[in-house]
Amino acid sequence: MLQFYMTPGSCSTGIHILLEELELPFAVHLVNLPAGDQHSAAFRTLNPKGTIPVLVVKDGPVLTEFTAIAWWLGKRHPKAGLIPEGVSEQAALLDSLSYIVGTLHQQAFTRVFVPERYSLREEDRASIEAQGRQMATEGFALIAEQLPEEGGYLFQRFTIADAALFYVEFWADRIGLTLPAPCRGHYQRMLTRPVVRRVLQEEGYRV
């Protein structure tokens, strides 16, 4: 059984969705980030980076990055079609996935959620959050250009990139950030997937 370390409502929600989509058996270990569980000796032994999500594979690797975990799941279960078959299509998927995780999440939303990482002065907090919101707005505008106007998936069918895009869209919705129409359509389409609705309910959110 897979051991899944996650925090409800975080980027790990995207991996939670993929695990449920694949109907894999896994045990959940909640990591309370506000309480500092990620800094405990036990967790640091498991993942020295102190980040989530973490997926521990029996007699296999300890995977610690969203992209690595999502890619492993997709490659391990090719019949699910979570990763395109062609090399060029896979490169395009990695391009989108890297931008969503590396820029929208790690650059834009970290400024919104943890502005203290970027300045020691309390008076800078508001401007850093505003900068994060602007970066997110610009990022979603770029992603919107890749989406069908009617709100389809990034690569015609559901892939690991859609799971990543969903969690940042979920964050945008939670903080009242206006999404471009294609992204809003994608978000609403994701919410119609039974697995997505179930995951949100399991993590304590009303759908």
Provide DSSP, 112-135: HH-GGGS-S-GGGHHHHHHHHHHH
Q: Rounded CA gap, 106 and 99, in Å?
A: 9
Instruction: Delineate the domains of the chain, giving CATH numbers in brackets.
Output: 2-81 (3.40.30.10), 87-193 (1.20.1050.10)
Distance CA 20, CA 195 (A): 6
Task: Give me the count of residues in the chain.
Answer: 207
**pLDDT number for residue 70:** 98
Phi, psi dihedrals of residue 42, rounded to the nearest 5°: -65, -45
Q: So what's the pLDDT on residue 149?
A: 81
Closest CA relative to residue 183, chosen from 19, 191, 68? 191
Preceding omega of 78 cis (within 30 degrees of 0): no
The pLDDT value recorded for residue 31 is 96
Q: Long-range contacts of range 131-138, CB-CB < 8 Å, 24 or more positions apart?
A: 132/107, 132/108, 133/108, 133/175, 133/177, 135/103, 135/104, 135/107, 135/108, 135/111, 136/104, 136/108, 136/109, 136/112, 136/168, 136/172, 136/177, 137/177, 137/178
Please report the pLDDT score of residue 113 as a whole number. 97
> Using CA atoms, how far apart are residues 6 and 132, in angstroms rounded to an integer?
24
Per-residue pLDDT at 151: 78
Burial classification of residue 156, based on how many CB atoms lie within 10 Å of its CB (0-12 exposed, 13-18 middle, 19 or more buried): exposed
Q: What pLDDT score was predicted for residue 62?
A: 95
pLDDT in tens, 32-87: 999 999 999 999 999 999 999 999 999 888 999 999 999 999 999 999 999 999 99
List the chain residues with pLDDT less than 50.
Answer: none
Residue 100 CB: number of other CB atoms within 10 A? Answer: 28
Alpha-carbon span 53 to 65, nearest angstrom: 7
Give the per-residue pLDDT at 150.
78
Residue written as tokens 């975080």?
10
User: Can you read off the two tokens belonging to residue 43?
Assistant: 């967790």
**Per-residue pLDDT at 60:** 86
In this prediction, residue 180 carries a pLDDT of 96
Taking each helix axis from N to C end, the angle separating 125-144 and 87-99, rounded to the nearest 10 degrees, works out to 160
